[in-house]
Amino acid sequence: MGSTISLLKYLPPWRDLIHPTPETYTQILTIWQYFAPLTTIQWLTAYFPMGKTSLKSSPFNIPGRIAWSIMELVAPINLLYQFNTLPHKMNLTPSQLPTPNKLLATLYVTHYINRAIISPLFASPSVSPIHALIVVCASLFNWFNSTCLAAWLVGYHVPISGYRADGYGSGSSSGSHTFLPYIGIVLFILGMAGNIVSERTLFRLRRAEAEKVADKKSDTTQGGSRYSKVYVIPPAKGLFRSVLYPHYVWEWVEWAGFILVGTAVYPAARGDVQVGREIKLVPWLVPGAAIAEWLRVPLPLPAVIFFVNAVATMVPQARRGKKWYLERFGSEKVAGRGAVVPFSSWL
Protein backbone atom coordinates (compact mmCIF):
# COMPACT_ATOMS: atom_id res chain seq x y z
CA MET A 1 0.00 0.00 0.00
CA GLY A 2 2.84 2.34 0.90
CA SER A 3 4.61 1.75 -2.42
CA THR A 4 1.39 2.58 -4.29
CA ILE A 5 1.07 5.89 -2.42
CA SER A 6 4.72 6.67 -3.19
CA LEU A 7 4.13 5.99 -6.89
CA LEU A 8 1.09 8.27 -6.94
CA LYS A 9 3.29 11.15 -5.75
CA TYR A 10 5.11 11.06 -9.11
CA LEU A 11 1.96 11.22 -11.21
CA PRO A 12 1.09 14.64 -12.65
CA PRO A 13 -1.91 16.46 -11.16
CA TRP A 14 -5.25 15.93 -12.89
CA ARG A 15 -5.32 19.47 -14.28
CA ASP A 16 -2.07 18.74 -16.16
CA LEU A 17 -3.60 15.63 -17.71
CA ILE A 18 -6.57 17.65 -18.93
CA HIS A 19 -4.36 20.54 -20.10
CA PRO A 20 -0.88 19.01 -20.49
CA THR A 21 2.20 21.07 -19.73
CA PRO A 22 5.36 20.36 -21.78
CA GLU A 23 6.64 18.25 -18.88
CA THR A 24 3.39 16.25 -18.68
CA TYR A 25 3.40 15.83 -22.45
CA THR A 26 6.89 14.36 -22.24
CA GLN A 27 5.76 11.93 -19.54
CA ILE A 28 2.70 10.83 -21.52
CA LEU A 29 4.72 10.46 -24.73
CA THR A 30 7.38 8.43 -22.92
CA ILE A 31 4.73 6.04 -21.59
CA TRP A 32 2.96 5.86 -24.97
CA GLN A 33 6.07 4.71 -26.84
CA TYR A 34 6.16 1.58 -24.65
CA PHE A 35 2.64 0.49 -25.62
CA ALA A 36 3.52 -1.78 -28.58
CA PRO A 37 5.10 -4.61 -26.50
CA LEU A 38 1.90 -4.82 -24.43
CA THR A 39 0.07 -6.10 -27.50
CA THR A 40 1.89 -9.42 -27.08
CA ILE A 41 -0.99 -10.23 -24.71
CA GLN A 42 -3.22 -10.40 -27.80
CA TRP A 43 -0.96 -13.09 -29.28
CA LEU A 44 -1.15 -15.18 -26.12
CA THR A 45 -4.91 -15.24 -25.64
CA ALA A 46 -8.00 -15.83 -27.75
CA TYR A 47 -10.02 -13.59 -25.43
CA PHE A 48 -11.24 -10.62 -27.42
CA PRO A 49 -14.92 -9.90 -26.68
CA MET A 50 -15.94 -7.80 -29.67
CA GLY A 51 -16.84 -8.37 -33.30
CA LYS A 52 -16.83 -11.96 -34.55
CA THR A 53 -15.34 -13.18 -31.25
CA SER A 54 -17.62 -11.21 -28.95
CA LEU A 55 -19.18 -12.97 -25.97
CA LYS A 56 -22.73 -14.12 -26.61
CA SER A 57 -23.96 -12.96 -23.23
CA SER A 58 -22.24 -10.98 -20.52
CA PRO A 59 -23.54 -8.49 -17.96
CA PHE A 60 -20.68 -6.22 -19.07
CA ASN A 61 -21.69 -6.14 -22.75
CA ILE A 62 -22.56 -2.76 -24.24
CA PRO A 63 -24.69 -2.46 -27.41
CA GLY A 64 -22.24 -2.51 -30.31
CA ARG A 65 -23.13 0.70 -32.13
CA ILE A 66 -23.13 2.75 -28.93
CA ALA A 67 -19.92 1.18 -27.60
CA TRP A 68 -18.06 1.64 -30.88
CA SER A 69 -19.05 5.30 -31.18
CA ILE A 70 -18.19 6.09 -27.56
CA MET A 71 -14.70 4.59 -27.64
CA GLU A 72 -13.82 6.08 -31.02
CA LEU A 73 -15.28 9.54 -30.37
CA VAL A 74 -12.75 9.99 -27.57
CA ALA A 75 -10.09 10.56 -30.25
CA PRO A 76 -11.54 13.50 -32.23
CA ILE A 77 -13.24 15.15 -29.25
CA ASN A 78 -10.08 15.16 -27.14
CA LEU A 79 -7.88 16.28 -30.04
CA LEU A 80 -10.22 19.17 -30.91
CA TYR A 81 -10.48 20.17 -27.25
CA GLN A 82 -6.70 20.20 -26.75
CA PHE A 83 -6.08 21.81 -30.14
CA ASN A 84 -8.41 24.67 -29.27
CA THR A 85 -7.35 25.22 -25.64
CA LEU A 86 -3.60 24.55 -25.40
CA PRO A 87 -2.56 27.40 -27.76
CA HIS A 88 -3.87 29.89 -25.20
CA LYS A 89 -1.04 28.76 -22.90
CA MET A 90 1.27 30.33 -25.49
CA ASN A 91 -0.86 33.45 -25.97
CA LEU A 92 -2.01 32.16 -29.35
CA THR A 93 -5.29 31.28 -30.96
CA PRO A 94 -5.75 28.04 -32.94
CA SER A 95 -6.05 30.07 -36.15
CA GLN A 96 -2.48 31.31 -35.66
CA LEU A 97 -1.02 27.81 -35.78
CA PRO A 98 0.84 26.87 -38.99
CA THR A 99 -1.17 25.44 -41.88
CA PRO A 100 0.42 21.93 -41.74
CA ASN A 101 -0.56 21.64 -38.07
CA LYS A 102 -4.16 22.55 -38.82
CA LEU A 103 -4.18 20.23 -41.85
CA LEU A 104 -3.06 17.25 -39.77
CA ALA A 105 -5.74 17.94 -37.17
CA THR A 106 -8.32 18.08 -39.98
CA LEU A 107 -7.14 14.78 -41.48
CA TYR A 108 -7.28 13.08 -38.09
CA VAL A 109 -10.80 14.31 -37.34
CA THR A 110 -11.97 13.40 -40.86
CA HIS A 111 -10.82 9.81 -40.34
CA TYR A 112 -12.72 9.56 -37.07
CA ILE A 113 -15.91 11.09 -38.44
CA ASN A 114 -16.08 7.99 -40.63
CA ARG A 115 -14.81 5.58 -37.99
CA ALA A 116 -16.85 6.82 -35.02
CA ILE A 117 -20.06 8.06 -36.64
CA ILE A 118 -20.69 7.07 -40.26
CA SER A 119 -19.40 3.50 -40.14
CA PRO A 120 -21.00 2.17 -36.92
CA LEU A 121 -24.18 4.25 -36.89
CA PHE A 122 -25.11 4.33 -40.58
CA ALA A 123 -23.02 2.04 -42.79
CA SER A 124 -22.67 -1.18 -40.80
CA PRO A 125 -25.64 -3.58 -40.98
CA SER A 126 -25.02 -4.54 -37.34
CA VAL A 127 -22.37 -4.28 -34.64
CA SER A 128 -21.99 -7.10 -32.13
CA PRO A 129 -22.07 -6.24 -28.42
CA ILE A 130 -18.72 -5.06 -27.09
CA HIS A 131 -17.44 -5.89 -23.64
CA ALA A 132 -16.92 -2.91 -21.34
CA LEU A 133 -13.24 -3.90 -20.92
CA ILE A 134 -12.65 -3.38 -24.65
CA VAL A 135 -14.44 -0.03 -24.55
CA VAL A 136 -12.28 1.17 -21.65
CA CYS A 137 -9.01 -0.04 -23.27
CA ALA A 138 -9.88 1.48 -26.66
CA SER A 139 -10.90 4.76 -25.02
CA LEU A 140 -7.57 4.94 -23.17
CA PHE A 141 -5.73 4.17 -26.40
CA ASN A 142 -7.52 7.02 -28.16
CA TRP A 143 -7.00 9.41 -25.25
CA PHE A 144 -3.25 8.77 -25.07
CA ASN A 145 -2.92 9.06 -28.82
CA SER A 146 -5.00 12.20 -29.32
CA THR A 147 -3.36 13.96 -26.37
CA CYS A 148 0.14 13.33 -27.75
CA LEU A 149 -0.87 14.40 -31.25
CA ALA A 150 -2.63 17.55 -30.06
CA ALA A 151 0.25 18.70 -27.85
CA TRP A 152 2.68 18.16 -30.74
CA LEU A 153 0.47 20.03 -33.21
CA VAL A 154 0.01 23.09 -31.00
CA GLY A 155 3.78 23.52 -30.71
CA TYR A 156 5.04 21.44 -27.78
CA HIS A 157 8.50 20.12 -28.53
CA VAL A 158 10.43 17.18 -27.08
CA PRO A 159 14.17 16.98 -27.90
CA ILE A 160 15.25 13.46 -28.84
CA SER A 161 18.39 12.12 -27.21
CA GLY A 162 21.16 11.55 -29.74
CA TYR A 163 19.32 12.90 -32.79
CA ARG A 164 18.97 16.19 -34.60
CA ALA A 165 16.11 14.92 -36.75
CA ASP A 166 13.61 16.86 -34.65
CA GLY A 167 15.52 20.11 -34.94
CA TYR A 168 15.51 20.88 -38.65
CA GLY A 169 13.49 23.91 -39.54
CA SER A 170 11.57 24.88 -42.64
CA GLY A 171 14.70 26.58 -43.90
CA SER A 172 16.62 23.32 -44.15
CA SER A 173 18.84 23.00 -47.20
CA SER A 174 17.30 19.63 -47.99
CA GLY A 175 14.49 19.58 -50.52
CA SER A 176 12.85 16.48 -49.05
CA HIS A 177 10.64 18.57 -46.78
CA THR A 178 9.03 20.16 -49.83
CA PHE A 179 7.63 17.00 -51.41
CA LEU A 180 7.16 14.50 -48.56
CA PRO A 181 4.00 16.21 -47.19
CA TYR A 182 2.39 16.15 -50.65
CA ILE A 183 3.14 12.44 -51.01
CA GLY A 184 1.67 12.04 -47.55
CA ILE A 185 -1.60 13.76 -48.49
CA VAL A 186 -1.97 11.46 -51.51
CA LEU A 187 -1.26 8.36 -49.39
CA PHE A 188 -3.71 9.48 -46.72
CA ILE A 189 -6.51 9.98 -49.26
CA LEU A 190 -5.77 6.68 -51.01
CA GLY A 191 -5.56 4.83 -47.70
CA MET A 192 -8.82 6.24 -46.40
CA ALA A 193 -10.58 5.50 -49.69
CA GLY A 194 -9.25 1.92 -49.73
CA ASN A 195 -10.25 1.43 -46.10
CA ILE A 196 -13.80 2.66 -46.72
CA VAL A 197 -14.26 0.65 -49.95
CA SER A 198 -13.00 -2.55 -48.29
CA GLU A 199 -15.19 -2.10 -45.24
CA ARG A 200 -18.30 -1.20 -47.25
CA THR A 201 -17.74 -4.28 -49.43
CA LEU A 202 -17.88 -6.45 -46.31
CA PHE A 203 -21.04 -4.68 -45.16
CA ARG A 204 -22.67 -5.21 -48.56
CA LEU A 205 -21.82 -8.93 -48.55
CA ARG A 206 -23.19 -9.32 -45.03
CA ARG A 207 -26.45 -7.64 -46.00
CA ALA A 208 -26.83 -9.85 -49.05
CA GLU A 209 -26.18 -13.00 -47.01
CA ALA A 210 -28.61 -11.94 -44.29
CA GLU A 211 -31.33 -11.25 -46.86
CA LYS A 212 -30.72 -14.65 -48.45
CA VAL A 213 -31.00 -16.42 -45.09
CA ALA A 214 -34.11 -14.42 -44.17
CA ASP A 215 -35.81 -15.29 -47.47
CA LYS A 216 -35.16 -18.99 -46.96
CA LYS A 217 -36.63 -18.88 -43.46
CA SER A 218 -39.49 -16.58 -44.47
CA ASP A 219 -38.22 -14.29 -41.74
CA THR A 220 -40.39 -11.24 -41.22
CA THR A 221 -38.05 -9.59 -38.75
CA GLN A 222 -37.76 -5.89 -39.41
CA GLY A 223 -34.83 -3.55 -38.79
CA GLY A 224 -31.19 -4.40 -38.34
CA SER A 225 -31.57 -7.45 -36.05
CA ARG A 226 -31.65 -9.87 -38.98
CA TYR A 227 -28.01 -8.94 -39.70
CA SER A 228 -26.75 -9.75 -36.21
CA LYS A 229 -23.94 -12.32 -36.22
CA VAL A 230 -24.32 -12.93 -39.97
CA TYR A 231 -20.79 -13.18 -41.40
CA VAL A 232 -19.42 -14.06 -44.81
CA ILE A 233 -15.94 -14.58 -46.16
CA PRO A 234 -15.29 -12.20 -49.05
CA PRO A 235 -14.44 -13.87 -52.37
CA ALA A 236 -10.79 -13.74 -53.44
CA LYS A 237 -11.09 -10.85 -55.86
CA GLY A 238 -10.54 -7.13 -55.92
CA LEU A 239 -9.08 -5.76 -52.69
CA PHE A 240 -9.61 -9.17 -51.07
CA ARG A 241 -7.63 -11.11 -53.69
CA SER A 242 -4.53 -11.67 -51.57
CA VAL A 243 -5.49 -10.62 -48.01
CA LEU A 244 -8.54 -11.05 -45.79
CA TYR A 245 -8.20 -7.69 -44.05
CA PRO A 246 -7.39 -5.10 -46.72
CA HIS A 247 -9.22 -2.44 -44.68
CA TYR A 248 -6.50 -2.82 -42.03
CA VAL A 249 -3.72 -2.51 -44.61
CA TRP A 250 -5.30 0.57 -46.19
CA GLU A 251 -5.64 2.19 -42.79
CA TRP A 252 -1.91 1.70 -42.27
CA VAL A 253 -1.30 3.37 -45.64
CA GLU A 254 -3.48 6.22 -44.37
CA TRP A 255 -1.42 6.71 -41.22
CA ALA A 256 1.86 6.33 -43.12
CA GLY A 257 0.68 9.29 -45.20
CA PHE A 258 -0.15 11.10 -41.95
CA ILE A 259 3.48 10.66 -40.85
CA LEU A 260 4.79 12.14 -44.11
CA VAL A 261 2.50 15.15 -43.81
CA GLY A 262 3.83 15.48 -40.26
CA THR A 263 7.34 16.15 -41.58
CA ALA A 264 6.04 19.64 -42.41
CA VAL A 265 5.48 20.39 -38.70
CA TYR A 266 8.42 22.40 -37.34
CA PRO A 267 7.83 23.11 -33.66
CA ALA A 268 11.50 23.83 -33.04
CA ALA A 269 11.46 26.70 -35.52
CA ARG A 270 8.81 28.67 -33.60
CA GLY A 271 9.83 31.37 -31.17
CA ASP A 272 6.99 30.51 -28.78
CA VAL A 273 7.75 26.79 -28.73
CA GLN A 274 7.10 24.99 -25.43
CA VAL A 275 9.99 22.62 -24.72
CA GLY A 276 9.80 19.53 -22.55
CA ARG A 277 12.71 17.49 -21.20
CA GLU A 278 14.72 15.30 -23.54
CA ILE A 279 13.28 11.90 -24.39
CA LYS A 280 15.17 8.68 -25.13
CA LEU A 281 13.63 6.60 -27.89
CA VAL A 282 12.78 2.95 -27.45
CA PRO A 283 14.79 0.69 -29.81
CA TRP A 284 11.98 0.10 -32.32
CA LEU A 285 11.63 3.86 -32.96
CA VAL A 286 15.36 4.51 -33.48
CA PRO A 287 15.32 3.61 -37.22
CA GLY A 288 12.58 6.20 -37.81
CA ALA A 289 14.68 8.91 -36.16
CA ALA A 290 17.72 7.87 -38.21
CA ILE A 291 15.74 8.10 -41.45
CA ALA A 292 14.38 11.53 -40.49
CA GLU A 293 17.90 12.71 -39.70
CA TRP A 294 19.15 11.40 -43.05
CA LEU A 295 16.31 13.19 -44.87
CA ARG A 296 16.96 16.31 -42.77
CA VAL A 297 13.32 16.63 -41.72
CA PRO A 298 11.74 16.74 -38.25
CA LEU A 299 10.69 13.41 -36.80
CA PRO A 300 6.88 13.51 -36.30
CA LEU A 301 7.31 11.37 -33.20
CA PRO A 302 3.68 11.20 -31.96
CA ALA A 303 2.51 10.23 -35.46
CA VAL A 304 5.20 7.54 -35.73
CA ILE A 305 4.32 6.14 -32.31
CA PHE A 306 0.64 6.08 -33.30
CA PHE A 307 1.43 4.17 -36.49
CA VAL A 308 3.57 1.60 -34.65
CA ASN A 309 0.98 1.12 -31.90
CA ALA A 310 -1.90 0.81 -34.37
CA VAL A 311 -0.09 -1.84 -36.42
CA ALA A 312 0.96 -3.71 -33.28
CA THR A 313 -2.67 -3.80 -32.12
CA MET A 314 -4.28 -4.68 -35.44
CA VAL A 315 -1.94 -7.45 -36.64
CA PRO A 316 -2.91 -9.96 -33.90
CA GLN A 317 -6.57 -9.04 -34.43
CA ALA A 318 -6.25 -9.84 -38.14
CA ARG A 319 -4.42 -13.10 -37.41
CA ARG A 320 -7.14 -14.08 -34.93
CA GLY A 321 -9.73 -13.22 -37.57
CA LYS A 322 -8.02 -15.40 -40.17
CA LYS A 323 -8.05 -18.32 -37.75
CA TRP A 324 -11.78 -17.73 -37.22
CA TYR A 325 -12.36 -17.70 -41.01
CA LEU A 326 -10.48 -21.00 -41.35
CA GLU A 327 -12.52 -22.63 -38.59
CA ARG A 328 -15.83 -21.27 -39.90
CA PHE A 329 -15.42 -21.56 -43.68
CA GLY A 330 -12.45 -23.88 -44.25
CA SER A 331 -9.14 -23.46 -46.08
CA GLU A 332 -10.76 -23.69 -49.52
CA LYS A 333 -12.69 -20.46 -48.92
CA VAL A 334 -9.66 -18.74 -47.43
CA ALA A 335 -7.95 -19.59 -50.73
CA GLY A 336 -4.38 -19.21 -49.49
CA ARG A 337 -4.84 -15.57 -48.58
CA GLY A 338 -2.92 -13.94 -45.78
CA ALA A 339 -4.49 -11.93 -42.98
CA VAL A 340 -2.65 -8.70 -43.85
CA VAL A 341 0.42 -9.95 -45.76
CA PRO A 342 -0.40 -11.17 -49.30
CA PHE A 343 -0.65 -14.99 -49.51
CA SER A 344 1.04 -15.43 -46.11
CA SER A 345 0.19 -18.56 -44.14
CA TRP A 346 1.09 -16.87 -40.83
CA LEU A 347 0.17 -13.19 -41.26
Residue 226 lies in a domain: no
- pLDDT tens by residue, 105-122: 999 999 999 999 999 999
73-91: average pLDDT: 92
The pTM of the full predicted model, rounded to 2 decimals, is: 0.89
pLDDT interval class at 322 (50, 70, 90): very high
Question: Coil, helix or strand for 123?
Answer: helix
- Report how many domains make up the chain: 1
For residue 148, give its domain range. Answer: 13-215+231-334
Mean pLDDT of the residues in the chain: 85
Distances (CA, A) of 161 to 154, 281, 290: 22, 7, 12
Is residue 49 within 8 A of residue 134, CB to CB? The reply is: yes
253 located within any domain:
yes
66 located within any domain: yes
Per-residue pLDDT averaged across 247-273, rounded? 83
Give pLDDT tens digits for 124-163: 988 888 999 999 999 999 999 999 999 999 988 888 887 7
Residues 6+ apart with CB under 8 A from 111: 192, 254
**Which pLDDT does position 78 carry in this prediction?**
97
Q: Establish if 3 belongs to a structural domain.
A: no
How much of the chain, in percent, has pLDDT values that exceed 70?
A: 83
pLDDT of residue 222: 47
- CA dist 138 and 303 (Å) reads 18
Is 345 domain-assigned? no
Q: Is there a domain that residue 346 lies in?
A: no
Within a domain: 7: no
220 lies in a domain? no
Q: Which secondary-structure segment (H or E) carries 127?
A: none
